Structure formats: C-alpha cells, structure tokens
Amino acid sequence: MRINGRRWRVAVRAGQGRPVLMCNGIGARLELLEPFLDRLDPAIPVIRFDVPGIGGSEMPRLPYNFATLACALGDVLDELGYPETDVLGISWGGGLAQQFALQNPRRCRRLVLVATATGMLMIPAHPRVLSKMITPRRYRDRAYAAAIAATIYGGRLRAEPALAQEILHHHAGRAPGPGYALQLLAGAGWTSLPFLPLIRQPTLILAGDDDPIVPVINAKIMHRLMPDSALHIYPDGHLGLVTRADDLGPRVAEFLRPEPE
C-alpha cells in the first residue's frame, strides 16, 4: 500500500475481530516472525509490515522518529479499515509499540512487549554485544550471522548454531542498507521511561532470562512502572518469540482474547 506517498510492504492475515499489529526488530523483514505467527491462534487477524527502508518498503523522503512512525501506522490502520488494534513489539519494535500506545490510547486496546526496554535510558548490553549490533553485517553475511548469534541473541542459539541459520535465513545476505541507519537514528535520544506510568493499556511483558541485548532487569523495571502490566520471564534469549513459539504463541493468544461481555 502507499502511505504518505511511499510504498509500504504490508502483510495481513485474515481473521475475526480486532487484529494484532506486529512491530519487528531493527533491520528485520516481516518474515522473521512467521514461526511465531504459525503458533498464534489462527482466528486472530495479524498485520505485519516492513519499516520504511527495510525489505519491500521504500525509503522515506525524510528521516523519521518513533512519534512520526507511530502516526504512519495509524494511516496503515485507516487504509485497512481497523479503528482499533492490539500491538505487539519485539526489541526495537517494542519501542515503537510503546510510542504507539501512548499516542493512540483509543486505538490500542492491549500491548505485548517482547525482549525490549525503555530506549536510551535502560540497563545496557555489554559493549561487545553492542559493537556487533551497531553494524548490519549480520544481514549481509550468513556465516557471520550464525557465528555471532550465540553472543548477541543468547538462549537456545548458544547451543544450536543450525537453528540460528534457520531463523536468520530470510535476513542474512539481504543488507538493509540506509534503512538500518534510519532505524538507529529513530531510536537515538528516545526513551519511554518518563511516560511508562501513562500507558494504561493492559500490557504483557515477555523477557528472556538469557538475553544479551536486553538484560532481563529492564523488563522488571518496566513492569514496576506500568500500572496494568504482567511480566513473564521465559528460559531463552533475545529471539525467544521465535525459538519458544510453541510456548509463547498460546500465551500471547490467551492474553489477546476478547474480554467477556
């Protein structure tokens, strides 16, 4: 579809009722979450998208930030005819999901935050992890992506390098180019820490106990600050939404089920 005059790649899974809008991690195409999608109740409509400059979405005319991107997501929902949505955000997409919930309290019913934190004001990863995250090389070089997967993603990928190659199949070797830099720029200086108490939507926070990118203490801080949140810590790493899809898919579906009338 075209949003603000630019082409966006959007995937919609039909279902019944309110959809869940999925916001992906930095540099990742919408295919990353397919294993999770396969384990999510098929009755739930799902909207996925490539961030401008990533995958099949055109580069924007101007750089964006989380606030302007959240506005654009409202335009996506308008085009699709959905007045209200649930929102799931993983990693970088968790920041976007928080911003969308703050800006659109009447359009966002429930919020799922996975392996994410509060932006610039957070308990950071180890410098050796950050040094590997800052470059998109893992998207250009499949061998490199698999080699560093244990260090930056943790969890099952520490012991299962073949699984890392399988998960990264849609991403390694497909360099995001300038779009990756725009995503880094969008998060520069952004933090949700002061406004977390203002997010009143019921929120499910999912965090891995072995996540090198987002240490689990960040999820505990968010849980303390968000007035209507539940915290679930799973035994895995940063990509637990994919590697533990059999467990987390039904858990998220249960959280998103319509409230009884």
pLDDT at 161: 72
Say what the pLDDT of residue 242 is: 95
Question: Which backbone phi and psi does 226 adopt, to 5 degrees?
Answer: -90, 120
The answer to whether position 101 is within a domain reads yes
pTM for this prediction: 0.95
Question: Does the pLDDT of residue 134 top 90, yes or no?
Answer: no
Is 30 part of any domain?
A: yes
Specify which residues 48 forms β-bridges with.
11, 22
Residue 176 has pLDDT above 70, yes or no: no
- What pLDDT does 133 receive? 85
Asked whether residue 27 is domain-assigned, the answer is: yes
| Residue 204 belongs to some domain of the structure | yes
Q: What would the mean pLDDT of 29-49 be, rounded to a whole number?
A: 95
Selected residue with higher pLDDT from 242 and 173: 242
In a domain, 177, yes or no: yes
Q: How far is CA 143 from the centre of its chain?
A: 24
172, part of any domain = yes
Report, in angstroms and rounded to the nearest whole number, the Rg of the chain calculated over CA atoms.
17
Q: What is the mean pLDDT of residues 134-161?
A: 85
The two tokens of residue 196 are 């977390």
Give just the sign of the alpha carbon dihedral 65, 194, 91, 200: negative
Q: Is 174 or 36 the better-scoring residue by pLDDT? A: 36
> Any idea which residue has 């190659």 for tokens?
165
Give me the pLDDT at residue 167, please.
80
User: What does pLDDT average to over the chain?
Assistant: 93
Mean pLDDT in residue range 127-136: 88
Instruction: Determine the pLDDT at residue 79.
Output: 97
CA 183 vs CA 54, 130, 137: distances in Å: 9, 15, 15
pLDDT at 170 exceeding the cut of 90 = no
Structural domain boundaries, residue 244: 2-256
For residues 105-122, average pLDDT: 97
Residue 131 designated active-site: no
Once rounded to an integer, what is the mean pLDDT over residues 89-108?
98
Q: How high is the pLDDT of residue 142? A: 75
Residue 242 lies in a domain: yes
DSSP state of 198: G
Q: Looking at residues 126-150, what average pLDDT do you find?
A: 84
pLDDT band at 33 (very low <50, low <70, confident <90, very high): very high
Task: Return the CATH number at 160.
Answer: 3.40.50.1820
Q: At what angle do helices 178-187 and 92-103 cross, to 10 degrees?
A: 50
pLDDT tens string 183-218 = 999 999 999 999 999 999 999 999 999 999 999 999
**Number of folded domains that form the chain:** 1
Catalytic one among 57, 91, 192, 229? 91
Closest CA to 88 of 175, 185, 247, 201: 201
**Confidence class of residue 260 from pLDDT cuts 50, 70 and 90?**
low
Quickly state the pLDDT bin for 259 (edges 50, 70, 90).
low
pLDDT in tens, 142-153: 788 888 888 999
How does residue 173 score in pLDDT terms, banded at 50, 70 and 90?
Answer: very low
261 within a domain of the structure (yes/no): no
